[in-house]
Amino acid sequence: MSQPVTDVRTRALDVAYRRGARPLLFRLGGGDAEAVHHRTVDLVQALGDRPWARTGVSRALAPPGAPVRLLGLTFPNRVGLAAGMDKDGRGVRAWGALGFGHVELGTVTAHPQPGNDRPRLFRLPASRAVINRMGFNNAGVAALARRLREAREEGAIDIPVGVSIGKTKVTPLEDAVEDYLTSVRALDGLADYLAVNVSSPNTPGLRDLQDAGPLAELLGAVVGETRRLAGEGRATPVLVKLAPDLTDAALEQALAVAIGAGAAGLIATNTTIGRRHVAPVDRALAEREAGGLSGAPLTRRAREVVARIRAATDLPQIGVGGVMTVDDAAAMLDAGADLVQVYTGLIYAGPALVRQVAALPARPARAAR
């Protein structure tokens, strides 16, 4: 097992978050987890909008860690922010200052949409987990593209920025390809990679796009469009984000299709519709509330999927799901991930986790990739 980084700043951050910020955040808004989420992104956006503050925070928090070359990009470290936290890219200027080595914005859809009815986000503290059925609430790809263009023109983005794309809810499944292509075109030249999200449990029918036929059609079209847009240049890498609930056979099939269609990499995994490994006190809530489960109950399964993918292909892979501690991150890297992402871990462990993961030494088995 790796040694957690215990430098003074990391310890101070850890204590400040666990004893100060987290109890406050969890009580805020009368326990309305989504309200807290929006306030947090407001704060991150406010930080990004103030260059002096950004520089100050960056100086204070800049994690140690060696850059990683992957997907034709340079990542300052191995830990990224997973999709769903910053759907509209409001904090795109600030995530790097907070220590992340990349961010995946979105999931964004061709058309703006409100998402599902509230409440749709639930904390399960005893399980260190979250259930969400947000349903791709987002301001639409055009708004994200505008924001990204402005930030890029300002030179305010200092880490690779991926964008996760999904299907608008009202678009029928048979028109899904065109819906995704609208996002691909709008993001041309703005995203460092695209993540094709076919694994969220909260858009009806979306996960059917992981089946061989529809997946081949969708990825063929998306990869083809990025190549067409790039002309003689380098096409934007296209990654596919998979669910942890696929059977082994379905996972193998999806991988074969992704590789055949020219995907540049995989992201594993999204949230689970399963309810295993939930603490007894959270069971009633977990059974009652529909949606994707993330956090500690997902740790083992996500790692297992990453290992299966690694056994099947050498393509770049981002491991995500239940990275709650630096040891979870190390295990994910050892299972075959080249980079890791966190979401629920950030809610429970705070920014010290990012700093610790960023400082993990290169994994010997992956060092040459």
Ligand X SMILES: Cc1cc2nc3c(=O)[nH]c(=O)nc-3n(C[C@H](O)[C@H](O)[C@H](O)COP(=O)(O)O)c2cc1C
Residues in touch with ligand X (CB under 6 A): 82-84, 87, 106-107, 121, 130, 132, 134, 136, 164, 197, 200, 241, 270-271, 294-295, 298, 320-323, 342-345
Q: What is the C-alpha to C-alpha distance for residues 172 and 204, in angstroms, rounded to an integer?
A: 10
If the CB atoms of residues 109 and 236 are measured against ligand X, the closer one turns out to be 109
- Known active-site residue 200: yes
Taking the complex as a whole, the smallest distance from the CB of residue 104 to ligand X amounts, in Å, to 7
Give the H/E segment covering residue 248: helix 248-260
- From residue 93, how far is each of 44, 72, 102, 184 by CA, in Å? 9, 22, 11, 22
CA neighbor of 86 nearest in space, from 48, 127, 31: 48
Q: What is the C-alpha to C-alpha distance for residues 170 and 113, in angstroms, rounded to an integer?
A: 9
Q: What is the C-alpha to C-alpha distance for residues 259 and 183, in angstroms, rounded to an integer?
A: 22
If the CB atoms of residues 206 and 255 are measured against ligand X, the closer one turns out to be 206
Taking the complex as a whole, the smallest distance from the CB of residue 61 to ligand X amounts, in Å, to 20
Other Cβ atoms less than 10 A from the Cβ of 169: the count is 18
The bridge status of strand 121-124 relative to strand 102-108 is unpaired
If the CB atoms of residues 75 and 348 are measured against ligand X, the closer one turns out to be 348
Taking the complex as a whole, the smallest distance from the CB of residue 293 to ligand X amounts, in Å, to 9
Q: What is the C-alpha to C-alpha distance for residues 294 and 153, in angstroms, rounded to an integer?
A: 35
If the CB atoms of residues 76 and 297 are measured against ligand X, the closer one turns out to be 297
If the CB atoms of residues 54 and 258 are measured against ligand X, the closer one turns out to be 258
**Amino acid identity at 230:** A
Long-range contacts of residues 186-191, Cβ cutoff 8 Å, at least 24 apart: 186/110, 186/141, 186/142, 186/144, 186/145, 187/141, 187/144, 187/145, 187/148, 187/163, 187/236, 188/229, 188/236, 190/145, 190/148, 190/149, 190/152, 190/163, 191/148, 191/161, 191/162, 191/163, 191/236
If the CB atoms of residues 13 and 332 are measured against ligand X, the closer one turns out to be 332
Taking the complex as a whole, the smallest distance from the CB of residue 168 to ligand X amounts, in Å, to 13
Token pair for 22 = 């987290």
Residue 214 is classified by DSSP as H
Position of minimal CB gap to ligand X? 84
Give the H/E segment covering residue 55: helix 51-61
CA neighbor of 257 nearest in space, from 268, 278, 271, 242: 242
Taking the complex as a whole, the smallest distance from the CB of residue 131 to ligand X amounts, in Å, to 8
Taking the complex as a whole, the smallest distance from the CB of residue 72 to ligand X amounts, in Å, to 22
Taking the complex as a whole, the smallest distance from the CB of residue 85 to ligand X amounts, in Å, to 7
Which one from 2, 164, 199, 200 is the annotated catalytic residue? 200
3-class secondary structure for 126-161? HHCEEEECCCCCECCHHHHHHHHHHHHHHCCCCCCE
Other Cβ atoms less than 10 A from the Cβ of 105: the count is 30
If the CB atoms of residues 54 and 202 are measured against ligand X, the closer one turns out to be 202
Residues recognised as catalytic: 200
